[in-house]
Amino acid sequence: MPGTESMAALLRVEKISKRFGGIAALNDVSLVIESGEIHGLIGPNGAGKTTLFNIITGLYTPTHGNLDFKCCSLLGMKPHQVLKLGIARTFQNIRLFANMTALENVMVGRHARSHAGMLGAVIRNAATRAEEAAIQRRSRELLELVGIDRHRHALAKHLSYGDQRRLEIARALATDPALLALDEPAAGMNPTERETLKDLIVSLRDRLGLSLLVIEHDVKFIMAMCDHISVLNFGEKIADGTPQQVRNSPAVIEAYLGAEVA
């Protein structure tokens, strides 16, 4: 599925607004994520980035607007349904299953792509055993891909910070997404660690043909990696374009970057 229809719209966000009580968190935001691109989402704190994220992944329902993913509208879908369609995510404040092992975390990610039910679990027939083995195999592969296979039996909460971020990505990948949404994946990492992460993200696109949506504050990090960047400020989109276009946008400089960075 990935990469075949290059440069076709994968996710179309149309005039999304979201209000909490009386406060508008998002106002008429539209953007398009193409198949196979890394799309950056930046903006000052409180600009509505995470809110948009939560709307795309089904955690919030927008007040107005529409979302189209591949063929269908995502409106009214629950997170688990959105995931089933192929959008997976990570969380700003890492949300792993802290008391499960790294391997178990990734195996949970395979839930939506496997079927064994109650009866299978109890009688453990051939089909269930085969499925279980496949889940394990795939999970190991993903742990290897993100480079933490050696920690597979450690509890998630015992992993180092960087490894937790990587595990979260592996868990999301286990759901076979077409679009992977990363919420501040580099937060709390030093430049060297960021560099490694950037390589991983780029390789996900290049090797697996994934599309990615990334929120990040580190301008250097995001500019170096993204094909396309959207900028939010006070709930509105103030810029949209290639990294170069965005970097030179006066509105972005004023609201976000500050004069000397640009």
Q: Where are the beta strands (DSSP E) in the chain?
A: 9-20, 23-34, 38-42, 64-69, 72-73, 87-89, 179-183, 211-215, 228-233, 236-241
Nearer to other proteins, 33 or 222 (CB): 222
Nearer to other proteins, 4 or 190 (CB): 190
CB 209, min distance to other proteins, A:
20
CB 159, min distance to other proteins, A:
6
Nearer to other proteins, 8 or 119 (CB): 119
CB 51, min distance to other proteins, A:
9
Q: Taking the CA atoms of 29, 202, 185 and 137 in sequence, report the sign of the dihedral they define.
A: positive
CA distance 74 to 60: 11
CB 29, min distance to other proteins, A:
17
CB 208, min distance to other proteins, A:
18
Contact 31, 230 (CB under 8 A): yes
Nearer to other proteins, 34 or 92 (CB): 92
**Beta pairing, strands 9-20 & 64-69:** antiparallel
Tokens representing 66 are 């529409």
Q: With 0-12 CB in 10 A as exposed, 13-18 as middle and 19+ as buried, what is 216?
A: buried
CA distance 51 to 23: 13
Question: What is the crossing angle of helices 191-208 and 161-173, to 10°?
Answer: 10
Contact 183, 194 (CB under 8 A): no
Burial 23-54 (b: 16+ CB within 10 A, else e): ebbbbebebbbbbbbbbbbbbeeebbbbbbbb
CB 91, min distance to other proteins, A:
6
Nearer to other proteins, 170 or 204 (CB): 170
Contact 50, 215 (CB under 8 A): yes
Nearer to other proteins, 4 or 21 (CB): 21
CB 7, min distance to other proteins, A:
28
CA distance 130 to 238: 51
Nearer to other proteins, 191 or 250 (CB): 191
